[in-house]
Every structure is written in structure tokens, then in C-alpha cells.
């Protein structure tokens, strides 16, 4: 997870009409996670630093609260909480949109809760990507952002570097997913138990959903990671990835593993299986169709890799964690 003394900063965005219960709830959730992690000194877990950022500053969002003041080493995640009053595109100032794009380009994971996904869409970062939003905003969202693959029937779309949720109270699950990434699934589960919150059973029982390392500082590799996230790592090859990164193939292999801890092929497998987990949990598509959707022409190969990564066959995974009533699959 990290080396003792490491600090990772999570930013929470403030804007006019923001739901303060979510702002304070996220701050409390991260602090509880810190306390639980501190009880496991042998694990050498990092400490979460929680900062609040005033998003309506005319120049750029500025830090107005810091739970652990210190050197500015960059944000690892930015959370956009929901609003009871709703959120309109007019609230997305040019400076705020630029700041979000800068944070993303620097390796931060961005998460939008409920109508917070509108701000992510306004930034253009969701173009060509899957996302969800509150059902009351779905029609207007789809009309304004036709390049976004809106999946309004899904409660959460975790696309690795961009996470969107559909419910006002989904800030809790988003917060727990970030704890899972930064401190591990056992700390996330313990935090949920302490706060008496629901947490995705699939994450705690079947390993976390794939959480790519994005804050490694290698801009060429980060550019490639964002490209892979955007296209689902479907129909990619080493020469194509090298071209996207602007590197020679041998250099790409060396730098990619140094930055992410995985070979490019392994990384793509994790991305595809992560998307398949989401489809198995929230859709009724057949397993063969899901295999094809995430980039596997041979369903047997998909089943083998899925079991290797999650420990379950796709049909077992859906039976245990599927949220779609009556979800069935062919050739299980």
C-alpha cells in the first residue's frame, strides 16, 4: 500500500449549493479510515490528508481546509459532492474546468457524485467514456453531452480514473472505494462496519475493482493509461500502445512496468475484467456477449482470465453479486 509516513491527499470540491452533509461526511469517513489504518502499524499504510477546495474562485480553486497541513505533493483524488439544489453547466467556470483537467492530467482520480457528474462532463473528460448521473438529470445530460456514454440505470460507473455515481447518498460508496484504493479493501470494509454503511460486497469478498496507479509522474505512460481507460483496452496491441505513448516498444515495456507495476498486457486484462465485473453486476447481458463487449472473441479465454483475477467464474460472480433481478446468462 505504501511506506510508513507516506501522505496521500484527497480533495473535496466546494461550490454554491454543495451538499455540506456530503462534504463533512466524506471528511469524517476518511478520518475514520485513518484511525483504523493507524491500528495496523505493521502494514505501513499511508495517511489520508483531506482538503477542501473552494471551486467558485474566479482564478482557480483554492484550498480552504487542510486536515494535515504540509508540503503540496499533489492530489491523488478529487471528489465532487452532490447538490440538493441541482447543478447547471453555467456553474462550471473556465478556471474550474481547467483545474479539473490539470488534476486529471497530473494523475488524480476524479469522482462525481450525482449531479457532480455534470461538472466532469462539462470538462470534456467524460467524452467517449461511460458515466452515470441522477435520474432527474439524465435526459438533459444526454442531450447536452452526446459524446458521453450515459448509463443512467447504473448506480455507479467506476472507470478507473473517472468515477460517477447516480444517487445523492452515493458519496459514501465513492468514499469507501477511494479508501479501498489508498488503504486496501480490509480498511474499507472495517470503515464501513464502523460507520454502519453498506459497501460493495464484490469489493470486500472478491478483491477490489482494478485501481490503476496514476500518480507515478511518467507523463507518457499516464497519457497511455488515460487512452486505455477511454477505449476500454479493446483491440489494442503493443505497437499501437507505443504509438499512443510516443515511445519505442522496448522503452514502453520498461517504463510501463516501472510506473504501474504491471506489463501492458496484464494491465489491459485487469481493465477488461474490471469492466466485465461491472456489467455482470448491473446488466442482464449474456456472459458471451459481455466477453465480446470487453474485448474477448473467445469466451473460454475470458472465463479463464476472469477466474484467475477474481477467483470466481463469471456465472458464479453474477449469482453472488448481480444486482439485476432475474439476470441470466447463456452457456455458463
Cα–Cα distance, 17 to 38 (Å, whole number) = 34
Residues 201 and 239 in one domain: no
Residues 270 and 122 in one domain: no
Range name among 59-68, 165-174, 205-214, 280-289 with the lowest pLDDT average:
205-214
Checking if the pLDDT of 332 tops 50, the result is no
Could you tell me the CATH number of the domain that includes residue 286? 1.10.10.60
Q: Give the domain-ending residue among 179, 205, 231.
A: 205
Domain that holds residue 295: 266-321
Mean pLDDT, residues 243-254? 96
Residues 173 and 283 in one domain: no
Residues 55 and 139 in one domain: yes
Residue 214 counted as domain residue: no
Cα–Cα distance, 53 to 100 (Å, whole number) = 11
Q: What is the domain count for the chain?
A: 3
How would DSSP label each residue in 73-128? --EEEEEE--BTT---GGG--HHHHHHHHHHHHTT-EEEEETTHHHHHHHTTTTTT
Residue 211 counted as domain residue: no
Residue 332 counted as domain residue: no
Residues 125 and 166 in one domain: yes
Q: Give the domain-ending residue among 183, 205, 227.
A: 205
Burial string for 45-56 (b: 16+ CB within 10 Å, else e) reads: bbbbbbbbbebe
pLDDT at 93: 84
Residue 296 counted as domain residue: yes
Residue 63 counted as domain residue: yes
CA distances from 276 to 142, 149, 239, 259 (A): 24, 16, 25, 25
Residues 71 and 11 in one domain: yes
Residues 256 and 128 in one domain: no
Mean pLDDT, residues 31-43? 87
Among residues 149, 176, 175, the alpha carbon closest in space to that of 279 is found at 149
**DSSP secondary structure letter of residue 241:** H
Residues 136 and 38 in one domain: yes
Phi, psi of 51 (to 5 degrees): -125, 150
Residues 41 and 136 in one domain: yes
Among residues 134, 141, 179, the alpha carbon closest in space to that of 30 is found at 179
Residue 273 counted as domain residue: yes
50-71 tens-digit pLDDT? 999 998 888 889 999 999 998 8
Residues 135 and 251 in one domain: no
Residues 83 and 151 in one domain: yes
Residue 226 counted as domain residue: yes
Residues 254 and 306 in one domain: no
pLDDT band at 203 (very low <50, low <70, confident <90, very high): low
CA distances from 229 to 29, 171, 269, 271 (A): 28, 22, 12, 7
Residue 198 counted as domain residue: yes
Checking if the pLDDT of 206 tops 70, the result is no
Amino acid at each position: 500500500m505504501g511506506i510508513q509516513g507516506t501522505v496521500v491527499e484527497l480533495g473535496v470540491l466546494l461550490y454554491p449549493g454543495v451538499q455540506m452533509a456530503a462534504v463533512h461526511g466524506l471528511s469524517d469517513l476518511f478520518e475514520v479510515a485513518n484511525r483504523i489504518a493507524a491500528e495496523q502499524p505493521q502494514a505501513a499504510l499511508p495517511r489520508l490528508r483531506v482538503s477542501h477546495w473552494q471551486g467558485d474562485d474566479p482564478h482557480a480553486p483554492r484550498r480552504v481546509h487542510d486536515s494535515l497541513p504540509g508540503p503540496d505533493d499533489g492530489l491523488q483524488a478529487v471528489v465532487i459532492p452532490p447538490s440538493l439544489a441541482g447543478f447547471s453547466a453555467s456553474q462550471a467556470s473556465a478556471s474550474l474546468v481547467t483545474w479539473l483537467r490539470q488534476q486529471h492530467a497530473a494523475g488524480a482520480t476524479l469522482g462525481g457524485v450525482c449531479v457532480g457528474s455534470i461538472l466532469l462532463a462539462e470538462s470534456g473528460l467524460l467524452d467517449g467514456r461511460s458515466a452515470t448521473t441522477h435520474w432527474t438529470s439524465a435526459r438533459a445530460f444526454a442531450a447536452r453531452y452526446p459524446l458521453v456514454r450515459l448509463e443512467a440505470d447504473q448506480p455507479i460507473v467506476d472507470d478507473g480514473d473517472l468515477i460517477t455515481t447516480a444517487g445523492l447518498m452515493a458519496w459514501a460508496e465513492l468514499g469507501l472505494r477511494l479508501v479501498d484504493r489508498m488503504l486496501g479493501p480490509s480498511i474499507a470494509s472495517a470503515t464501513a462496519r464502523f460507520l454502519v454503511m453498506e459497501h460493495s460486497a464484490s469489493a470486500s469478498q472478491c478483491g477490489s475493482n482494478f485501481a490503476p496507479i496514476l500518480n507515478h509522474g511518467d507523463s507518457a505512460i499516464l497519457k497511455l493509461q488515460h487512452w486505455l481507460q477511454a477505449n476500454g483496452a479493446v483491440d489494442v496491441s503493443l505497437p499501437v500502445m507505443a504509438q499512443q505513448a510516443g515511445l519505442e516498444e522496448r522503452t514502453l515495456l520498461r517504463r510501463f512496468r516501472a510506473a504501474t507495476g504491471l506489463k501492458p498486457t496484464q494491465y489491459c486484462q485487469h481493465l477488461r475484467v474490471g469492466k466485465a465485473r461491472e456489467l455482470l453486476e448491473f446488466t442482464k447481458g449474456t456472459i458471451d456477449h459481455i466477453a465480446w463487449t470487453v474485448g474477448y472473441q473467445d469466451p473460454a479465454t475470458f472465463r479463464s482470465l476472469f477466474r484467475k483475477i477474481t477467483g470466481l467464474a463469471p456465472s458464479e460472480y453474477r449469482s453472488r453479486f448481480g444486482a439485476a433481478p432475474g439476470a441470466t446468462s447463456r452457456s455458463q
